[in-house]
Structures are given as structure tokens and as C-alpha cells.
Structure 1
Amino acid sequence: MTDAFSSSSEAVLQRTVNVSTITTTSHAGNLAQLYQIAETCHFITSNQFKKVALQFPDELLPDAVRVSAEIENETKAKTFILGDTSYGSCCVDEVAAEHVRADCIVHYGTSCLSPCRRLPLLYVFGKRPIDVQQCAAAFKELYLDPQSHVIVLYDVTYSHAIGDLRTLLCDIYPNVVVSLLKTDHSCGAELIQDSYVDDNHTDSQDDIVIFKFGRHFSVKAGQSVDNYSMFYIGQEGLTLTNFMMTWNHCAFSSFNPETHTGRVESVKINKALMKRYYAIERAKDASVVGILVGTLGVANYLTIIEQLKDIIHKAGKKSYMFAMGKINVPKLANFLEIDVYVLVACPENSLLDSSEFYRPVVTPFEMELACNKHREWTGEYVTDFRDLLPGGSSHVGFPEPDQSAFEEETTDVSLITGALRTCSTASSEIINGTSESTSLVPRNQTLTVANTNTAASFLAGRSWQGLEPKLGQTPVVKAVGGRRGIAIAYEEEGVGNASTHL
């Protein structure tokens, strides 16, 4: 799960891009159909856009020039190809589009369908090949009972075949629910829906409607999502992991269109949840938190950052914010004073496996569990940070500080270090908004009165604190010749020692 954010620069230069089946087939003359150029041109001309940003993932870049030329010939609009996104390719790169002052964005390929706010947007998923008959056969092998309650989820690139699949299944399985792709139209986003029209299967007024991760489906009245099994169409990856973590009480199975095989997902989600719970314990122990900005396009990302700053401050911790594009191990290793990082990104890229990092990387939901004593661990998992905001489905308010709480500070034991830690959110710094405490801290072998600062204290305890200028303490000399050679064996080394031995 670290590919989206942790690939090194050397690996990017040396890797080879595997051209997908979409690209291979497009050279046979199906370019206009696969990339839905007619529908894209209608979107551009009907809205009178003059500058259009075309965002392609790496595997589709070989077709980018041809698609761009076709659109320019049909619409007379100026197109710009966005090839290298600042973060995950599933997210819309609105910042890069604004650099060229684009009027709209056309996003190609796999998408997390996270809402955006700045520019009008059109999703073109493409049409990855899938054998619908084999998919239906795999479904029947996995679910032998015709009365099985199953929700069908799928990667967006297979949406074009879902209508045919539903035709094959729904007569045999009356309790099968096929999800629909749906965007947040308030954000100005559109997608080309050519899979099927849901005329014969209208939802009852009593049905419970679920809209999550760009998927729309309904469950029968009196039922919940936990009573259904999930059938996913697509390859193993971030999308499937996100679904399994969110609906972790549901049994999952999948069909891989590339290998034409179906299987029951054997990933032990409870084990994955325990790994995430370990990260929460690390966040509880942390005193300095780094907020990693992992998106600049998902709506309300600034709001969640401010909310994280607030709850971290109220929990008596320090926070620093980092905006560094695609993160990797060497980048984060530069900040040893940080105890834990919290990543603000889209739902699919939030679940970063930080096992190879020097410090754990948690999600905003996990950070709230560590800081907000009113939020309890129930097994529910939230990957979409927008659900944590006020008005969201999983929002839990932070307890207000109370002067009377000073005498009721509680402590618990860290499950990692075994040490006691204070679980109090009431302090003079939080209530008054300023820090009035001073303390004696060692500095240069002397005792001076200074305000305590976590990062400064960490620097004071390091054996090497950087170069000291010592202005006025060293004489001014003319430039002299330095050493020659390499660090392991300078040319002048050993000359004096050899004459001494002689």
C-alpha cells in the first residue's frame, strides 16, 4: 500500500510501465470508443470550455497525445496533458490544472471519486475488458444459495459491463444489490454512465440508501450493510482494501477479470485492524505530531487539517505541518523529533503501511481515537476524513475544557512502553489559549529560565546540533588549499605517520 506515496526517485527513473489492455486495444482503432471522445467533446463544447486539462495515469500516457489531438480537432479547445500528479493518480490534480489556468479537468482511468471543489470535472474511466459470463459463473460458485444477500462493488473501469452482469444475476438472485457510481454534483463533477439504467429496480421508500466512496446502493428496510456479503470486481489493491477496512463486518469475495478467477478474500481483516490499533497506541504515546498533507484536491482537506491541529493541541501535544508531495522513508527520517505522523489524503491512500518508516503514519480517524476520549474503539473504521467533520456521519465532538477537571486528571498505562500517561485535556494552556508556564532547562551546561518547547528540548538533547557560527570568536584567515582525494583516503593522510616510523 506504499506505492502511491513511497516510491523512491531512483525507482521511478528505472521502472518500466506495463501498458494495460486498454492501451493495446486502442491502437487497433477503438480509441474514440474506449476514451469516450464524443462524450468528452460534448462536455467541453456544451460548457464552452477553452482550456482543458487531461489527467492521465502512467499506464495510459502512451495514448495521451492521440486523445489530446482528437479532442482539439473536434472542439477547437486547447488541451494540456497532466502526466505526473503530485499525489496519487486516483485523485484529481486541480493544482496542476490551475497552473495552466484550465477551465475544466478530464480525469482518465481509475479514480477514488473523492469530491473536488475548484474546477468542473469529467470522469472517463475507460473500458477494461471483462468476460461477463465468467464473472457470473464465479459469482454462482461463491454463492450457492439463491437467497444470498450480496452487494456488488466494482472498480470504476469495469462499470461499462455491470448492466450485463446484473441481467445475468438478478433473475436468479433476487436479493443481490448492484451499486451505482455517483458523484457529488454540488462539486461540478460528472461521469459518463453507460452501464445501465435502473428503471426496473426502483428503491422502496423504506429502503436504507448508502452513498459512500462514490458508490450508491440501498439495503432493505430492517437490514443493515453488515447483514450483506460483498462481491468485488477488480484486482487486489487499494480500492478493495479500503472497502474491506470500512465494511469490516462483511464477508468479502472477489473476481479478478485479468485472471478470470473468483475467490473468497483470505486477508484477515481483524489482524489488519489490530495493526491499526497498535498505531493508535503509538499516537497516544506521542508528544509531537506531524501532519502530512497528502492531497490538495479533495474537498474540505483544509478543514480537517484545522480540526486535527485543534484536537492535537487540546490533547496537550505539539503539531507541525508538512507538505512534501509524495512521501517516502528518507523524507520523513529527516524529522526525528516527530513521534507520529497523521496523513490527510483520499480514502484509498490514507491506509499507508508504515512498517518501513521510522515513525508510524496514522489516519485522521486514528488520531482522533488517540486524542478524543469521547471517541471509543468499537471496531468501526473510517477512512474518509469528511465523515469526521461536523455534520459528518462519524463526527464526535471534543470535550470542552473545564476548570474543575484539574483535580480529576486520570492516567492509564501505555500498552507499548508500560509507562503511565496522563489522560487530561484540561490545562491552563488550553483554557487560556496561551502558555504561561516557565521552567528551568539545561542549556550549554548552565541553567537558564526559558519557555519549554518540545522541538527545542529535543534539539538540546542531541549530541550534534549543527554547525555553530561562533561570530567574533574565530580569526579571519585567507583562503587556503583544502584536502584532495576521497574521504576514505585523502592524499595527505599517512605521510607524516610514515616518516615518524622511519
Structure 2
Amino acid sequence: MADWEQGSQDRPVEAKSANPKKRFDGRPSPSSEVTRRPLSTARPSRIINQVPDDILNDSLLNVAISQLPSNYNFEIHKSIWQLRKHGSTRVALQFPEGLLMFACAISDILESFANVETLVMGDVTYGACCVDDYTARALGCDFMIHYGHSCLVPVDITPIKIMYVFVDIGIDVSHFVETLQKNFQKGKRMALVATIQFVAALQTARQHLASDYVVTIPQSKPLSPGEILGCTAPKLKDSDLLIYLGDGRFHLEAIMIANPALPAYRYDPYAKVLSRERYEHVDMKAERKNAIERAKGAKRFGIILGTLGRQGSPKVLDHLITEMTKRSIPYTTILLSEILPAKLSLFESAIDAWVQVACPRLSIDWGYAFSRPLLTPYEMAVVLQETDWKQDDYPMDFYARDSLGPWTPNHVDPNKQGSRK
């Protein structure tokens, strides 16, 4: 969580960067001021459909569920119903780091009330791209529950049954709304975005803000309306300002990169603080352009396919190999679950530049730490002259269907008949 300076009650804080900086987060460090409003208890509701009454009204089950935070929706009733319906016997549970503290309690509940064996997958889970269904299958699981992320990997392509639990988090929506009303003039065109845990709260907030502001909840398909990822965020049109609902900056930085001219604010639902957020676009783009120029002189490339869950896209890998083969560019393909400077340094005598098919933010945030250029697929497309360098609009469209080109996993050619909407 960022540090805050107490100050006026009428203006948002200026977020401060951590020092020393561990990754390039594009954040300067000005002074800051705080905005707070009186508390209330509004929270978005979530309707559970089709779950039988005998599960919903199981008193022992409900007592067990009461041990979990009441404002976190782990969808326990639905999970038990799904496990019973599919006759599951061994279930893999996958959590991001921030939810692992609840893993043992949820495991006990599912084992007791669904009569299954559970395996908690403890490897790091950075995002929705890290769904580890193949490992779950290899461990003999017939069902997997992935917590805290949206269904970036469709359930109809996984080798075992999978259920995504977004973990909606109930927040003080009234405080969020009142804070925005206190700080922004009526009539402003306001874009609201969040991580998947808070998208329901965005919809509730829009209803209350619509009478005073022009409110949009943008969408970058296949993501949900208002949802952004650290690598995927929409370009915004006809907006005066951007409001991000969530803690941390990682996801927010994606939409800031995609919209460099748009003022960005973050409302932390836990600290109940509104902060003005900034990003050093010039420094980031200079670093990335320099990496591209250095890579143009490479004699041999290393192509890294990420193996952490579903991070690595074979489709993107195939595209890179095809384009490099056309141009007679030598390359070596390497599979890695974690891309670390020390690991890549072992290849320095043979590899002059890297392109990684794992997480674009690894190159953007950490590229400076590697001794050889570490490019994203988009940046490699610039090297291959498939596309131009976007000095003003660095693309954050990695999982978007309307991405710039076939160097992204979900790209749909707009000229193709029957393209997905």
C-alpha cells in the first residue's frame, strides 16, 4: 500500500513512489493531500442463481461460511453445488497471493460439505493468465476452482472442469460516490474502471453518479465492462478523467499507459482515500525504444515461452517463429516459468536479444534490469517492421480482441468474416 500524507479534506492525495524503486512504475513523488468522507455501508449485491435450497439453507454450512470475511463473496454455496453436480472427487484450488490466507478454511469447508479431496496450488499466481489447469489435471484432479480473476481462459478449452470465482468484495460505495462528488465538478465526463473484484461496485456507483456526471464504464473485450488487467486496458474517448477503483497501482498503470494524456485518480476502497496518480511516460517509452533499437542489431534472438499457468501463448509463439523464419533471423526457443536476469545471463554468449511471450509488463517494468534487450511481442513486431513504434499511444491490448495485430493471443482480424464480437 502506498504511503499517504494527511492534509486538506477537499483535494485528492498525490501518490508517493516507494524508495528504493524495485520496478519501473512510472511514478513521481510529489507531496500529497487527503480526501475523506463520512462512512456508510452500501455494497453491490450479487445474485446466486440455481443453487438448491438445501445447500443455501444448510445451517452447518452457513456457520462454516461465517468464518470467512462477510464482504468477500467466495461463492461457497455455488461451489458445493457444482462439485456435487459433477460428481467431483479431487479438486484443485488456486488463489492469488492476497487470498491464500483463506485457502485452508475454504479447503476444509469444501471437503466437509462436498465430500471431495482438495489440493491447494501454492505456486505464485500473478493473474488470470496463470490458471494452472494442466498441472491440476496431471495431479489427478477432475475439477478446479480459480479464485480472484475473471475467465481469461475460457472454460470450454480447459482439460478439466473449471469454475472461476471472481471474489466480489463489498465496499462502502456511498463513500466512493460522495468522494467523487466532493472532488469533481458536475458535468465532467468520467470513466470508471477496476479489477474484477470491484466491477459490480462500479455499476452501483454509476447509478448514483449519472445525475451529476457523464459516466462511462469502458470495456476491452473479452474482459468484463470496467475490468482492466495489467497488460490490457482500453483507449478512452470523450472522457475528461479516469477513476480507478482498487488498491495498488499495477492495473491502473496499464490504462494510464494506454491513455497518457488523461488525468488519472485512484480510490483505495480499504484506506478510503482518493489519490491523483501520475506516470513517467517519457522515461518508460525512452527505455522501451532503446531496447528495440538495440535488438535490431541482434544476430540471434531467444524466444521465451512462459510456462507459468497459461501465460505463454503458443499462437503468439507460432506467429513469431513464422515471421522470423521468413526473414532468416536465427532464434532459440526457451521455456521458462519465471524470467529472471540471473537465468537469462547464462545465455549471454549465444543470445543477443530476447522476446518474451509471457507478460508484457515484465519488459515494461523490469526490462532495464536485464543485460540484453527483453522485448514484448509488440516490440518485436516493431523490430520486424510488422507495425510502427507508437510513440504517443503505446498499446496495452495484449488480451484484447481488437488488438493491433497477430502478436497478441486473442487478436481477431477485422477483415475476416464471422469475427467474434
TM-score (norm 2): 0.69
> 1:385 offset after TM fit, Å?
4.2
Identical amino acids, percent of aligned pairs: 24
Distance 1:374 1:58 in 2: 37
Distance 2:181 2:283 in 1: 29
What's 1:99 paired with?
A: 138
> 1:160 offset after TM fit, Å?
4.7
- Aligned 8 A contact 1:155 1:239 in 2: yes
What's 1:8 paired with?
A: none
- Contiguous gaps of at least 5 residues in structure 1: 4-25, 180-209, 219-223, 397-502
> 1:2 offset after TM fit, Å?
7.2
Distance 2:163 2:361 in 1: 20
SS of residue in 2 equivalent to 1:311: helix
What's 1:340 paired with?
A: 353
**1:98-177 mapped onto 2 (5 Å cutoff):** 98-109=137-148, 111=149, 113-116=151-154, 117-118=157-158, 119-128=160-169, 130-144=171-185, 146-173=186-213, 175-177=214-216
> 1:279 offset after TM fit, Å?
2.0
The letter of the residue matching 2:195 is D
- Aligned 8 A contact 2:295 2:383 in 1: yes
Distance 2:256 2:216 in 1: 17
**C-alpha spacing 1:384/1:80, structure 2 compared with 1 (3 Å):** farther
* Residue 41 of structure 1 pairs with residue 41 of structure 2: no
> 1:259 offset after TM fit, Å?
2.7
Correspondence for 2:302 among 290, 294, 301:
290
> 1:330 offset after TM fit, Å?
1.1
- Aligned 8 A contact 1:112 1:346 in 2: no
- Aligned 8 A contact 1:50 1:77 in 2: yes
**C-alpha spacing 1:28/1:122, structure 2 compared with 1 (3 Å):** closer
* Residue 353 of structure 1 pairs with residue 366 of structure 2: yes
**C-alpha spacing 1:373/1:60, structure 2 compared with 1 (3 Å):** closer
Correspondence for 2:67 among 21, 26, 29:
29
Distance 1:127 1:301 in 2: 28
The letter of the residue matching 2:352 is D
What's 1:231 paired with?
A: 243
> 1:367 offset after TM fit, Å?
0.5
- Once the two structures are superposed, residues 385-415 of structure 1 have per-residue CA deviations (whole angstroms, 9 ceiling, x without a partner) of 453328825899xxxxxxxxxxxxxxxxxxx
- Contiguous gaps of at least 5 residues in structure 2: 1-20, 24-63, 228-234, 416-421
**C-alpha spacing 1:104/1:230, structure 2 compared with 1 (3 Å):** farther
**1:242-281 mapped onto 2 (5 Å cutoff):** 242-281=254-293
Distance 1:2 1:156 in 2: 26
- Aligned 8 A contact 1:44 1:75 in 2: yes
What's 2:231 paired with?
A: none
Distance 2:131 2:396 in 1: 18
> 1:54 offset after TM fit, Å?
0.6
Distance 1:357 1:300 in 2: 20
Matched length: 335
What's 2:36 paired with?
A: none
* Residue 372 of structure 1 pairs with residue 385 of structure 2: yes
> 1:343 offset after TM fit, Å?
1.6
> 1:352 offset after TM fit, Å?
4.0
The letter of the residue matching 2:220 is F
SS of residue in 2 equivalent to 1:211: coil
- Aligned 8 A contact 2:96 2:126 in 1: no
Distance 1:115 1:142 in 2: 38
Correspondence for 2:126 among 88, 108, 115:
88
SS of residue in 1 equivalent to 2:78: helix
**C-alpha spacing 1:113/1:306, structure 2 compared with 1 (3 Å):** same
**1:424-463 mapped onto 2 (5 Å cutoff):** none
Higher RCO, 1 vs 2 (CA within 8 Å, ≥6 residues apart):
2
> 1:363 offset after TM fit, Å?
0.7
What's 1:444 paired with?
A: none
The letter of the residue matching 1:134 is H
- Once the two structures are superposed, residues 250-307 of structure 1 have per-residue CA deviations (whole angstroms, 9 ceiling, x without a partner) of 3322112233221222113343233222222222222221112224544881011011
What's 1:212 paired with?
A: 221
- Once the two structures are superposed, residues 417-473 of structure 1 have per-residue CA deviations (whole angstroms, 9 ceiling, x without a partner) of xxxxxxxxxxxxxxxxxxxxxxxxxxxxxxxxxxxxxxxxxxxxxxxxxxxxxxxxx
Correspondence for 2:411 among 373, 392, 396:
392
Distance 2:388 2:203 in 1: 41
Distance 1:138 1:273 in 2: 33
> 1:94 offset after TM fit, Å?
1.9
SS of residue in 2 equivalent to 1:159: helix
- 303-312 vs 95-104, which moves further: 95-104
**C-alpha spacing 1:351/1:330, structure 2 compared with 1 (3 Å):** same
SS of residue in 2 equivalent to 1:172: coil
> 1:376 offset after TM fit, Å?
5.0
Distance 1:150 1:339 in 2: 45
- Aligned 8 A contact 1:342 1:361 in 2: yes
SS of residue in 2 equivalent to 1:353: helix
> 1:105 offset after TM fit, Å?
2.0
